[in-house]
Amino acid sequence: MKDKNYKNIKIPVIILMLFCFLILSCDDKKSDGNETHKVSALKNSSKKPEKTNEYAVEAPPFSDGIFPCTDCHKSFPPNPVKRELVKWHDDISAIFNHDKENRWCLDCHDVNNRDSLKLASGKLLDFKESYKLCGQCHGEKLRDWKVGVHGKRTGEWNGKREYLLCVHCHNPHSPKFKELKPEPPPMRQIDIK
């Protein structure tokens, strides 16, 4: 009789033990199992490309067909007088709102070479370097921009990156960031079936 009872218990106990064993063997082992194909994060980082003064930027956001400006401007003499523009660029004149009292087109654009920007020093500047122009007056922003904190870089977090120029986000003639229409709000919890 005793013997029989013992037998009855034995099978469930063994199953239980097997089960516990299975569960235990499932955890704990760290993910090291598949670390044979380790990849280094810094492998494709382009060893600090920005030691020079130049930054890889996305193409300046010109309106279609407007550049080179000289295509049109070579056909008439420049007019350095500060004024409302009516014959052309009246759209720019109308929105111009960048320290308007004290500033005028030719503080930033060169009077003789419309295909270049111009620093206060008189030095000419390619449109790809317009951030230097802005940096004359917004030095702190430029500093943060260089390290990717103000503005935005695209590309890879550990590799090649390009900067968005200031003018990709700020119209240089009316620099306040434009308001946007928001995407729709989430469904209310009670409306979710």
Kindly list the residues in this chain that would bind ligand HEC in the complex (CB under 6 A): 60-63, 66-67, 69, 72-73, 78-79, 85-89, 92-93, 96, 98-99, 103, 105-109, 114, 117, 127, 130-131, 133-134, 136-138, 141-142, 145, 150-152, 164, 166-170, 172-173, 175-177
Closest CA to 170 of 136, 141, 139: 141
Q: Which of 17, 44, 71, 83 binds other proteins (CB under 8 A)?
A: 44
Q: Which is nearer to ligand HEC, 124 or 141 (CB)?
A: 141
Residue 129 DSSP code: G
Distance, C-alpha 4 to centroid of its chain: 77
Q: Which is nearer to other proteins, 69 or 164 (CB)?
A: 164
Longest dimension (CA), the chain: 120
DSSP lists the bridge partners of residue 162 as: 154
Residues forming the site for other proteins (CB under 8 A): 4, 25-27, 29-31, 33-42, 44, 48, 144, 147-159, 164, 169, 177, 179-188, 192-193
